[in-house]
A and B are shown apart, each in its own frame.
Chain A
């Protein structure tokens, strides 16, 4: 099963709040889990990524939490800002080389 399931589909957060987006996967061969950020009219761009040898990775206000046993990973955006309003995609990659399997996307709106 190659599917990556992402939730929620949409999220509204107040400025300064924490945004949390969750993803779950089935394929235990996946070994690379990136998050992509997409602004309207633009292509997705890599935001942050993690490999399963660590349980957490933090870059600025963005943190990935990874639970290998549960086959789940999540993106946390601390101190969310209106400029973070975008669509976020989780993805996973494994033995298929450079191919990424994307989740369905989460449209985040941060209200001022």
Chain B
């Protein structure tokens, strides 16, 4: 199994530009999570999908952030317009099925830099 796949691994953009981060969860997992990690705020949950349906988006910072999961094998996190304070590492994680259903498997992350 390839694990959780995220793209791009690195993204550098200018303030005001649209940024789209992509995630492919582990096949068979029915829950998907987007996290943001910064030195100041640690690991923050942004949004959580279960069976492709958003369950909790209370961590989404503001309307500039949106996330979709059109099918079980793909999700996007979009920031429009981006701002320098959005610079962070964004992780996607998936979980589901089996006795240890709570275990979340993280992708390698996307390091976003907004200039």
Contact surface of A with B, Cβ cutoff 8 Å? 32, 34, 41-46, 49, 89, 93, 96-105
Residues of B within 8 A of A44 (CB): 43, 91, 106
Of the candidates B56, B96, B100, the one whose C-beta lies within 8 Å of that of A99 is B56
C-alpha gap A59/B112 in the complex (Å): 36
C-alpha gap A103/B101 in the complex (Å): 20
Known: A34-B102, A97-B50. A105 touches B91 (CB 8 A): no
Nearest A residue to B6, CB-CB: A43
Of the candidates A43, A104, A105, the one whose C-beta lies within 8 Å of that of B93 is A43
Q: Which of B93-115 contact A (CB under 8 A)?
A: 93, 95-96, 100-109
Are A98 and B31 neighbours in the complex by a CB distance under 8 Å? Answer: yes
Of the candidates A32, A43, A104, the one whose C-beta lies within 8 Å of that of B106 is A43
Are B42 and A104 neighbours in the complex by a CB distance under 8 Å? Answer: yes
Q: Does B48 contact A (CB under 8 A)?
A: yes
Residues of B within 8 A of A102 (CB): 42-43, 45
C-alpha gap A34/B4 in the complex (Å): 19
Are A98 and B95 neighbours in the complex by a CB distance under 8 Å? Answer: yes
What DSSP secondary structure best describes chain A's contact surface? loop
Total contacting residues, chain B, CB less than 8 A: 24
Contact surface of B with A, Cβ cutoff 8 Å? 4, 31, 33, 42-43, 45, 48, 50, 55-56, 91, 93, 95-96, 100-109
Are A46 and B103 neighbours in the complex by a CB distance under 8 Å? Answer: yes
C-alpha gap A108/B107 in the complex (Å): 22
Residues of A within 8 A of B45 (CB): 99-102
Known: A43-B108, A89-B43, A105-B42. A98 touches B101 (CB 8 A): yes
Residues of A within 8 A of B48 (CB): 98-99
Known: A102-B42, A105-B43. A43 touches B102 (CB 8 A): no
Are B42 and A98 neighbours in the complex by a CB distance under 8 Å? Answer: no
C-alpha gap A42/B3 in the complex (Å): 13
- Minimal beta-carbon separation of B25 from chain A (angstroms): 12
Nearest B residue to A31, CB-CB: B102
